[in-house]
């Protein structure tokens, strides 16, 4: 029998995380919204200085006391080693509060960067960078995307070449999150331009204070004022690096990046489940509370259709994400079967958010279109979900290619399922039976 219930011990951890998010992190989220508004109008921030940092540290200690710090990490790196299914169930809960990744030690891009160093780094690189990253001592940046190429590795122009006993790095990177405030940048650069695509790029560990790193400007997401944001447009201007700046083997960059991004994609998808469910929860409360045309909104059949469609879409998507996570746990690798399901849920995520958030926003009327609920921010995140970690179109190609591998072309003029052929084959198979029946008649 297939059991959809987590074991009691893990369910207790899920329950604790849910209560912790609701009681501690969501109120903090609302305070951060107020803080952002204060800063926008030129007033001093509400949450500055050591006192606020001590409060965050205290919350992190509570998480560590529950054995839930660094959820994505295995025991060898100080994490609980949950596996992908359990990690997805946790991410569904943590998606409710933007402060959760910081408090639970799962903040991007630091999490993926720590994993890269853990798997590819030398002993010296791990000693210098890994432990402080895992202890949330500073921010890091993953600098891969380029302005003309997006995340298409075949179009990358940023290069690195050997010079004496070191390297020279040169080129432009775009949307390098937290590049301006990061202490360490992991930069993808082409080192073997004539090699096959999979062997062309390498990754480098670049300390932020290295000469030649020029922040052209910081870019925000939809809805953020122009000139603000956390995503840096960077010029690596003849940056000189020592030989030991190379992360992993030369030419291993693309392979390493896929290992990093594959896990992130499924967690993005499960966080989308959590956000969609949150929007539906808001809509259900609203339609049970608001009257129009002589009855509650919840009594209107078109409203009921919106609620039902949203519920069904979320449940279907959630099961697909958990199935993909189960496959990762089963195979313990990102093989073809696993990659197809990860690509599929990555394709579905923005569509589910688009449909559900729009319905829920619409059911709120003018309140939904205002800036006085979280629905507006959810709506702004929909395009982001279709772009981050590779555009939807790329993942659709992966799904199609991996699906077609399981089929073969017909060697006949008509397809193998052509009914005249199937009927002729059936007559041949049951010829003796048919003759007997005719004779009996």
User: DSSP letters of 6-38?
Assistant: PPHHHHHHHHHHHHHIIIIIHHHHHHHHHHHHH
Question: Which pLDDT value is given to residue 229?
Answer: 85
Higher pLDDT, 438 or 244: 244
Average model confidence (pLDDT) for the chain?
90
In this predicted structure, the answer to whether residue 441 has a pLDDT above a threshold of 70 is: no
Mean pLDDT over residues 47-72, rounded?
86
**Angle at CA 215, nearest 5°, toward 212 and 221?**
155
Q: Which residues contact 206 (CB under 8 A, 6 or more apart)?
A: 143, 169, 184, 185, 186, 187, 213, 236, 239, 241, 245
In this predicted structure, the answer to whether residue 331 has a pLDDT above a threshold of 60 is: yes
In this predicted structure, the answer to whether residue 356 has a pLDDT above a threshold of 60 is: yes
In the Cβ-directed half-sphere of 288, how many Cα atoms lie within 13 Å? 7
Question: Which pLDDT value is given to residue 262?
Answer: 62
* Per-domain boundaries in the chain: 8-107, 140-251, 255-404, 408-441
Sign of CA dihedral 273, 370, 362, 355: negative
Phi, psi at 420, each rounded to 5°: -55, -40
In this predicted structure, the answer to whether residue 222 has a pLDDT above a threshold of 90 is: no
| Number of other CB atoms surrounding residue 338 within 10 Å | 23
50: enclosing H helix or E strand: helix 50-65
Question: Which pLDDT value is given to residue 107?
Answer: 85
- What would be the CATH architecture of the domain defined by 140-251? Beta Barrel (2.40)
Mean pLDDT over residues 286-296, rounded?
94
* Entry pTM: 0.86
CATH number of 8-107: 1.10.540.10
Question: Which pLDDT value is given to residue 259?
Answer: 65
In the Cβ-directed half-sphere of 372, how many Cα atoms lie within 13 Å? 5
Question: Which pLDDT value is given to residue 386?
Answer: 85
Question: Which pLDDT value is given to residue 81?
Answer: 83
> Do 8-107 and 255-404 come out as alike in CATH topology?
no
Question: Which pLDDT value is given to residue 48?
Answer: 63
Considering only 30-44, 158-172, 315-329, which range has the smallest mean pLDDT? 30-44
Q: Which residues pair with 170 in a beta bridge?
A: 159
Considering only 15-29, 33-47, 133-147, 331-345, which range has the smallest mean pLDDT? 33-47
CATH class of this structure's domain 255-404: mainly alpha
Residue 131's pLDDT band (cuts 50, 70, 90): confident
Question: Which pLDDT value is given to residue 8?
Answer: 93
Question: Which pLDDT value is given to residue 44?
Answer: 63
Mean pLDDT over residues 59-66, rounded?
94
Q: What digits encode the pLDDT tens for the residues 242-280?
A: 999 999 999 999 887 776 666 678 888 999 999 999 999
Question: Which pLDDT value is given to residue 47?
Answer: 62
Instruction: Give dist(CA 343, CA 5) in Å, integer.
Output: 26
Higher pLDDT, 275 or 131: 275
Instruction: Give dist(CA 268, CA 423) in Å, integer.
Output: 49
Question: Which pLDDT value is given to residue 387?
Answer: 83
Mean pLDDT over residues 321-343, rounded?
90
Higher pLDDT, 146 or 36: 146
In this predicted structure, the answer to whether residue 40 has a pLDDT above a threshold of 80 is: no
Instruction: Give dist(CA 351, CA 358) in Å, integer.
Output: 11
């Amino acid at each position: 029998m297939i059991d959809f219930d987590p074991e009691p011990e893990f369910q207790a951890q899920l329950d604790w995380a849910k209560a912790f998010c609701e009681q501690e992190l969501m109120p903090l989220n609302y305070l951060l919204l107020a803080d952002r508004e204060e800063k926008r109008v030129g007033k001093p921030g509400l949450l500055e200085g050591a006192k606020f940092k001590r409060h965050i540290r205290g919350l992190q200690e509570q998480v560590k006391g529950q054995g839930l710090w660094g959820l994505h990490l295995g025991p060898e790196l100080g994490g609980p080693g949950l596996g992908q299914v359990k990690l997805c169930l946790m991410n569904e809960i943590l998606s409710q509060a933007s402060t959760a990744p910081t408090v639970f030690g799962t903040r991007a891009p630091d999490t993926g960067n720590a994993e890269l160093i853990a798997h590819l780094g030398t002993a010296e690189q791990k000693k210098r960078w890994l432990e402080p990253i895992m202890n949330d001592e500073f921010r890091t940046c993953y600098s891969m995307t380029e302005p003309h190429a997006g995340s298409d590795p075949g179009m990358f122009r940023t290069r690195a070449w050997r010079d004496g006993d070191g390297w020279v790095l040169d080129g432009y990177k775009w949307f390098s999150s937290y590049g301006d405030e990061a202490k360490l940048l992991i930069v993808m650069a082409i080192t073997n331009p004539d090699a096959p695509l999979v062997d062309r790029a390498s990754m480098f560990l670049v300390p932020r204070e290295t000469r030649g790193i020029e922040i052209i400007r910081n870019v925000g997401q939809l809805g953020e004022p122009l000139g603000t944001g956390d995503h840096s447009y960077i010029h690596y201007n003849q940056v000189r690096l020592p030989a030991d700046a190379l992360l992993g083997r030369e030419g291993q960059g693309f392979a390493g990046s896929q290992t990093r991004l594959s896990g992130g994609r499924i967690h993005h998808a499960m966080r989308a489940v959590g956000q969609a469910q949150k929007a539906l929860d808001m809509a259900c409360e609203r339609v049970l509370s608001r009257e129009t045309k002589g009855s509650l909104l919840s009594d209107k059949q078109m409203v009921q259709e919106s609620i039902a469609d949203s519920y069904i879409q979320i449940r279907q998507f959630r099961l697909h994400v958990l199935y993909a996570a189960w496959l990762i746990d089963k195979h313990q690798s990102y093989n073809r079967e696993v990659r197809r399901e990860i690509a599929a849920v990555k394709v579905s995520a923005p569509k589910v958010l688009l449909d559900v958030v729009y319905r829920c926003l619409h059911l709120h009327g003018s309140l939904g279109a205002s800036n006085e609920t979280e629905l507006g921010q959810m709506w702004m995140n929909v395009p982001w979900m279709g772009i981050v970690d590779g555009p939807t179109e790329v993942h659709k190609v992966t799904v199609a290619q991996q699906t077609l591998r399981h089929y073969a072309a017909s060697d006949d003029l008509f397809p193998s399922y052509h009914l005249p052929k199937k009927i002729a084959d059936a007559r041949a198979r049951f010829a003796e039976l048919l003759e007997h029946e005719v004779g009996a008649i």
